[in-house]
Amino acid sequence: MTKGTYASQHFLQMRNEENINQWEVIIVNDNKQNIYMDNDVYRRVPMNERQSWVSFLMIFIGMWASLAAIGVGVDLGTQLTPWKASLAIFIGYVICLIFGAFVGEIGRREGLSIAVLCERPFSKYGKLVPAFVIFMVAGIFIGVQADVVTRIGMSIVGIPLADGFDVTRGLIAAALCALMMFTSYKGIKYIKALSWISIPIFVILLAVGLVLVIRGFPGGLASILTLEANEISFTAVMFIGVSLYAGFSAEMPDIARFVRTRSGLIKALVIGYLVSAIIPIWGIIMGAALGSGEYWVIFAQYGLAFGIFAAIGLFLAQWTTNDNNAFSSGLALSTIFTTLHSRYKSVPRLTRKQATLVPAILGVVLAFMGSGSVSGLYAFVEALGSWLVPIAGVLIAHYYIVERGNRKVGTKGLSGLISMFTVGLLTQLGLMPLAAIMTIIGSIVLYVVVYYAIEKPLFGEMILKEELEEKL
């Protein structure tokens, strides 16, 4: 190997020769700096290019610095007694922390993104289904949250929001969304740098806003937390808590693959989730104290100076969420095209950077159309919890139960698809009892049952063989 190059990844492609599944290993030599560009979704992140958890901590927090979390929190603050709503949200986040840690460790251990990791439990072509779900959900949310930032900014400077479609709002939202896509296109190195700038400013903003609200409310924080409201159940709020972080929890491998050690990953996740839980709880307190149905107007109630600071802080924080959304969406779409290209040569094989342009454009269009209303937020949040959590459950069941003992087991995708669609549909339709907990547990249990009761007896156990020159 010449200086400046390295065997950065083994491109593993499943193939069937005389009904024997083998892994084709292709060594891809790239310039060292391109590891952060992450252009080949099948390239493992080499251990010597991983970094400590500290350097990625702000990314983990930035992933969840979501204005959707604030907006949903504000709305919940008017529907359930604030201390109950805060506790329910926190429990939901702890549930996400637990399954996010399991899924993240799979990505860290394998060095691959979530869409590629779906290949073994869903099959080579079956993984296109969860990959498409990840691409769509992550991509759509980009436009939703860019629109939210625009609504906040317009409220602060006193520009009225017209009923229905507003051309001025649409143009501003589209421009801000396009700007946010720069770091997602450039890659993880730029996402990390932005997070370390944005998150401290965002945390200061939340602290200042909280102090202002508490000081201005008779009886202070204790009075706010005990304001009685019972328009929504405790368990429903728990599921909302899971749903708020279901997306990035399920997509954790996309970032966790860059972390060096398991203990480091756990530290980053615990701190990241605990800090991030403050965001919707902050919204709950603000909503209860101010009684605001339109959550973005709360930032315009404390003078122009605070409003401008809030607009800047919220824009930067939302940027850290949207670039992660576009990054994961691009990884998923690149996986789809790479897989299809292996069979249909007429289908182009998109790199991660090329694929990221698609959700970026989709986000800009949706931001222009206007999708940041409270009803829109709830719709997307429910989709996150309903469909991304079962994908995580399938991966946990396969990598920790079916593949116990460090085996590599391939499947026909039957168990994965049945589990994902059954649990996802039941949850989406509101038929899953205790959805906050049973969505993840149900998908794990159903996958194991279908695999051992149906798929394995029908097709046998497909042990895959890998010949790796370097161990991660």
Q: Output the six-digit token pair for 422.
A: 């059954």
**H helix or E strand, kind and range, residue 7:** strand 5-17
Percent of the chain residues past pLDDT 70, beyond the cut: 85
Q: Taking Cα atoms as reference points, which of 210, 268, 201, 247 lies closest to residue 86?
A: 210
Confidence (pLDDT) at 308: 83
Q: Output the six-digit token pair for 100.
A: 């996010």
Confidence (pLDDT) at 21: 36
Confidence (pLDDT) at 417: 97
How far from 250 is each of 95, 254, 301, CA to CA, in Å? Answer: 12, 9, 37
pLDDT band at 334 (very low <50, low <70, confident <90, very high): very high
As a whole number, mean pLDDT of residues 129-155 equals 85
As a whole number, mean pLDDT of residues 71-76 equals 88
Q: What is the pLDDT of residues 169-199, one digit of tens each?
A: 899 999 999 999 999 999 888 999 999 999 9
pTM here is 0.84
Confidence (pLDDT) at 293: 57
Contacts of 308 (CB under 8 A, 6+ apart): 156
Q: Output the six-digit token pair for 378.
A: 């709830």
Please say if the pLDDT value at position 392 is more than 50: yes
Provide Rg for the chain, Cα atoms: 22
pLDDT band at 142 (very low <50, low <70, confident <90, very high): confident
Question: Between the CA atoms of 428, 433, 437 and 438, what dihedral angle is there, to the nearest 10 degrees?
Answer: -80
Confidence (pLDDT) at 28: 35
As a whole number, mean pLDDT of residues 73-90 equals 94
Indicate the range of 125-134, 222-231, 384-393, 423-432 predicted with least confidence. Answer: 384-393
Q: What is the pLDDT of residues 243-254, one digit of tens each?
A: 888 878 889 999
Please say if the pLDDT value at position 471 is more than 70: no
Rounded Cα distance between 353 and 45, Å, is: 16
> Where is pLDDT greater, at 448 or 303?
448
Q: Taking Cα atoms as reference points, which of 390, 412, 391, 409 lies closest to residue 401?
A: 409
Instruction: Decide: 192 and 350 in contact? Cβ < 8 Å.
Output: no
Instruction: Decide: 286 and 114 in contact? Cβ < 8 Å.
Output: no
